[in-house]
Copies of this chain bind each other. A is one copy, B any other.
Amino acid sequence: MGAAFSYLTSEIRFASPCRIDGSRTASRDPDCSAAYLTISDDAADGLEGHGFVFAVGGGEVQLAAIEAVMAIIEHRRLDALLADMGATWRMLVDRTQRAWLAPDGGIAHRAAGAVMNALWDLKAKRAGLPLWRLLAGMPPAALVELVDFRYLSDALSPEEALAILEASLPYRAVRERRLLAEGYPAAAASPGELWYSDDLLERLCREAMAEGFTQIKLKVGANRADDLRRLAIARAVCGPDLAIAVDAERRWGVDEAIAWIDDLSEFDLHWVEDPTSPVDLLGQAAIAQAIAPVPIATGEHALSPVMVKQLLQLNAIGYLKIDATSVNENLASLLLAAGTGVPVCPRAGGAGLSEVVQHLAMFDYVAVSGSMEGRAIEYVDRYHEHFVTPAIVRGGRYRAPVVAGSGSEMLPTSFVDHMWPILSELDGVA
């Protein structure tokens, strides 16, 4: 059993959000896409593992990177890879040849993450558990084994990580019951695209309030007068109690960020996301100090835990954002954040992100940080219908998934419909 396995890589593309929303101004980033990986072997259970890297372009490069990572393991047995996911991860990000490609969370690192996530999906399915429960059922020492501490131990040693996980151990069962009963807070990211009309913004804010969300997010940074007008609309609709976060999508330099945020701060900003280059750690620390008490949220573009470690050492962030890729690195980031008390708020919005990141946030609540306070998973009501186990949000809260797996598996029909290049174009070539 497990002596051979096969895999398939595909780019998956979805239509522009602006077309979905009926807004006329085109987005500069018209496609949401994913470099998608499916792994299966000849086991009698017939189960597949699915993983992906979310992107908005460059899918062909990301796919080439995933193929290169798969070449490392294609002669190995899946059951052996699944049995020691810490060793598998270390093998994929080994410091030698591939380190040239990915010192710090770039394409090659994300490719390794997509492979790991596909393996985690398969492992959870074989265990008959949703990923968050699989992880939250693992002994603390086994979780510590999943993390590569080489570049982290000056901030968090394996022993300190073990202590964090062991402190949660007695509370896992009660937290799991609470999570199943109450769900996990969601933050509405729908209202605030820059190209939305004021009317659409107002309507989406009203809908978010009506649906029970307690946090929304607006994009900012293109035009200061627009930002002020749009924030005034959102604050007027939502009242003083709803949390309004803003996202500058890396548009500003350090000094520009400080001045711009100062202008917006009258609207009681919940956080400012990605004010500048995500790898400008000192710049973000300088901004954080200048705009306090408004906190910075960042991290989804600086995927390496080595970068997360430094953001926390610098007190640069009030909230840590994480991406879906990968489970092993996110475990490291969750532990680093728990060690400093910084809440982790996963990004979502792109196809499949909600489905996967909810498992990470829920595992964090049950077994790592032990808290849902100040935390929320982003949510956009888009793309969920393409997944076998779509994320479910009711009353502004994610329901805890109960089906086995990581949530990343697409419906076969959706998969075929969104493959890129599209099949009809390929027919034309052939």
Contact = CB atoms under 8 A, between A and B. Distances in A.
A193 interface: no
A153 B279 contact: no
B96 A29 contact: yes
Interface stretch (A98-106, A178-186, A262-270): A98-106
Contact of A97 (B57, B63, B97): B57
Given A95-B251, A153-B253, A103 B277 contact: yes
Nearest to A63: B64
Interface stretch (A16-24, A301-309, A388-396, A422-430): A301-309
Interface in A88-134: 95-108, 111
A314 interface: yes
A253 B62 contact: no
A58 B98 contact: yes
A249 B286 CA distance: 31
Given A61-B64, A151-B253, A310 B286 contact: no
B58 A97 contact: yes
A209 B301 CA distance: 47
Contacts of A283: 151, 154, 306, 310
Interface in A244-283: 249-251, 253-255, 276-283
Nearest to A283: B154
A104 B104 contact: yes
Contacts of A313: 282
Contacts of A254: 151, 153-154
Contact of A61 (B65, B302, B306, B309): B65
A65 to B, nearest CB: 5
A75 interface: no
Contact of A100 (B58, B100, B153, B251): B58
A307 B104 CA distance: 11
B99 A106 contact: no
Given A55-B100, A98-B58, A306-B280, A253 B106 contact: no
Interface in A186-205: none
| Residue among A253, A279, A307 with the highest chain B CB neighbour number at 10 A | A279
B61 A107 contact: yes
Contacts of A28: 96-97
B61 A103 contact: no
B106 A101 contact: yes
B314 A100 contact: no
A101 B61 contact: yes
A74 interface: no
Given A281-B281, A302-B103, A108 B151 contact: no
A253 B152 CA distance: 7
Contacts of A68: 58, 60-61
B97 A56 contact: yes
A100 B57 contact: yes
Contact of A95 (B64, B250, B255, B304): B250
A95 B153 CA distance: 33
Interface string A140-166: 000000000111111000000000000
15 contacts: A61-B65, A63-B64, A64-B65, A100-B301, A101-B107, A102-B107, A103-B278, A104-B105, A151-B253, A151-B283, A152-B253, A153-B254, A154-B283, A279-B279, A279-B307
Closest 7 CB pairs of A and B: A106-B106, A57-B97, A64-B64, A154-B254, A104-B279, A58-B101, A151-B277
Interface of A: 28-29, 55-58, 60-65, 67-68, 95-108, 111, 149-154, 249-251, 253-255, 276-283, 286, 301-302, 304, 306-307, 309-310, 313-314
